[in-house]
Amino acid sequence: MPELPEVEIVRQSLDKKIIQKKVKKVIIRNRNLRFKIPLNFESFLKNQKILNVKRFSKYLIISLSNKGYCLLHLGMSGTVHIIYNYKKNNFTNTSFYNSPSLPTKHNHVEIFFDNLKIVYNDPRRFGFFEIIKNNKLLIKRFINLGPEPFDYKFNLKYVFSFFKEKEKNIKNFLLDQNFVSGIGNIYASEILFLSKINPMKKAKLLTKKECRRIVLNSKRVLLDAIKKGGSTIRDFKNISGTKGSFQKYFKVYQREGQRCKRLKCDGNVKKKNISNRSTFFCNICQK
């Protein structure tokens, strides 16, 4: 599943390619995604200029000249491809999931501009599009989600207060979008390793010092992943011909049975399923 850094890479790719371009045509080949694509989706986007492409959590937010927005969530397997009209398209994928070039199946949405088109591909169809008519409704759409790790609201006071008397383990809280928006399974394991916290530890038992580490390392890990282009779990390139390289720097994720990378630690990386998600941690230095 694309996590926040990978969605940010898609945002950056789209922001470079479609800003100030006008939507010429929209073709829906399959409306039956996680939520059915609205019947007025085509007319809402047609002839609108793209003002910018933003992101909140794992959502892409495309701002339109009619003061409305097109929301896109990639779900489990969604990818966005950019296809040029008169140019060889070696790599079309704006991120690093599934095929590096446009597959022949599961191309559900096509948005056309003058010299290129955007194609949304999603074999599992857990992704979805939404129309948001104005900024007030956009704010309301995300009102129940927690702050992003980069938000000033995600601070020591917020985290420590939130965890009081909470029985749930810290790993589950990092994946809880009502607590913090955007952290996924890969990065939760990496954050907890850097914070020296066992993923099974109950949130109510965390000290202020440990909560401060979570705040700082959440920002650190995600910013580093974005800088390195995200994590390429399968070996191929994105539209710019580069690979996400953060996977080369994993401290614990997918390193089961290997030695801990922390200096002077004799521990080994263990794997445990928490709420049906694979969790990786050092058996010695994560207390």
pLDDT band at 128 (very low <50, low <70, confident <90, very high): very high
58 catalytic residue (yes or no)? yes
Q: Worst-scoring range by mean pLDDT, 15-19, 124-128, 226-230, 240-244?
A: 240-244
The pLDDT of residue 235 is: 39
Structure tokens at 144: 């129940």
% of the chain exceeding 90 in pLDDT: 78
DSSP letter at 216 equals H
Whether 2 sits among the annotated catalytic residues: the reply is yes
Q: Among 165-169, 243-247, 268-272, which is the least confidently predicted range?
A: 243-247
Q: What is the pTM of this model?
A: 0.89
61-109 pLDDT tens trace: 999 999 999 999 999 999 999 999 977 877 888 876 667 888 899 999 9
pLDDT in tens, 132-184: 999 999 999 999 999 999 999 999 999 999 999 999 999 999 999 999 999 99
Predicted local distance difference test score (pLDDT) of residue 178: 96
| Least confident among 1-5, 24-28, 178-182 | 1-5
| Domains of the chain in sequence order | 4-141 (3.20.190.10), 156-282 (1.10.8.50)
Annotated catalytic residue, options 2, 5, 149, 199: 2
Per-residue pLDDT averaged across 222-247, rounded?
A: 59
User: 58, 213, 228, 243: which is the annotated catalytic residue?
Assistant: 58
Higher-scoring residue by pLDDT: 205, 1: 205
Catalytic residue among 3, 6, 8, 148: 3
- The two structure tokens encoding residue 202: 């109950």
Tell me, yes or no, if 124 is annotated catalytic. no
108 C-beta neighbours (distance < 10 Å), count: 21
118 in Cβ contact with 139 (< 8 Å): no
Does residue 242 register a pLDDT over 70? no
The residues near 58 (Cβ < 8 Å, ≥ 6 apart) are 2, 3, 4, 7, 73, 74, 181, 182, 184
End-to-end CA distance of the chain: 28
